[in-house]
Amino acid sequence: MNLSYRYRLYPDEFQREFLNRLIFSYNQFYNASLNLIQNKGKELYESGTKHNDIFKTLYTDLCNAMRNREDIVYKTELIQEALRDAFRVLFSLIKQKKPFNLHFKNSSRFTGSFPKRQTMKFSKKISLFGIRDIDVKVHRSLPSGYRIMGYRIVRELDRYFLVVNLANDADDKEMPTLPATQDVIGMDINSGNLTFSNGLKIDFIKSVYPELEKKRLKHQKSLSAKRKGSRNRKKAQKLLFKASRKIKNRRKDELHKRALGVLKAVTEKVIAVEDLNLKEMTNRKQGNKTLRKNLLHQGHRTFLDLLSYKATLFDRFVIRVNPAYTSQTCSCCGSLRKAPLSMREYHCENCNMTLDRDVNAALNIKRLGLSLCSPSLSSES
Give the Cβ contact number of residue 70 at 10 Å: 5
Q: What is the signed CA dihedral for 197, 202, 205, 207, rounded to 10 degrees?
A: 60
Please report, as a single letter, which amino acid is at residue 40. K
Within-domain flag for 235: no
Average pLDDT over the chain reads 82
Co-location of 196 and 339 in the same domain: yes
For 228-251, what is each residue's pLDDT tens digit? 989 999 999 999 999 999 999 999
Within-domain flag for 297: yes
Co-location of 158 and 267 in the same domain: no
Q: Residue 351: which CATH number?
A: 3.30.420
Its domain, for residue 84, covers 2-168
Within-domain flag for 227: no
Co-location of 291 and 334 in the same domain: yes
Residue finishing a domain among 137, 168, 199: 168
Within-domain flag for 200: yes
Secondary structure in 3-state letters for 121-185: CCCCEEEECCEEEEEEECCCCCCCCEEEEEEEEEEECCEEEEEEEEEECCCCCCCCCCCCEEEEE
pLDDT of 304 over the 80 cut = yes
Co-location of 142 and 279 in the same domain: no
For 27-39, what is each residue's pLDDT tens digit? 888 888 888 888 8
Within-domain flag for 217: no
CA distance linking residue 69 with residue 172, whole number of Å: 47
For 71-116, what is each residue's pLDDT tens digit? 888 888 788 888 888 888 877 777 777 666 777 877 766 665 666 6
For 185-237, what is each residue's pLDDT tens digit? 999 988 778 989 888 998 888 777 889 989 999 999 999 999 998 999 999 99
pLDDT of 259 over the 60 cut = yes
% of the chain with per-residue pLDDT over 70: 88
Co-location of 193 and 50 in the same domain: no
Number of structural domains, the chain?
2
pLDDT of 372 over the 50 cut = yes
Within-domain flag for 352: yes
Whether the predicted model's global pTM rises above the 0.85 cut: no
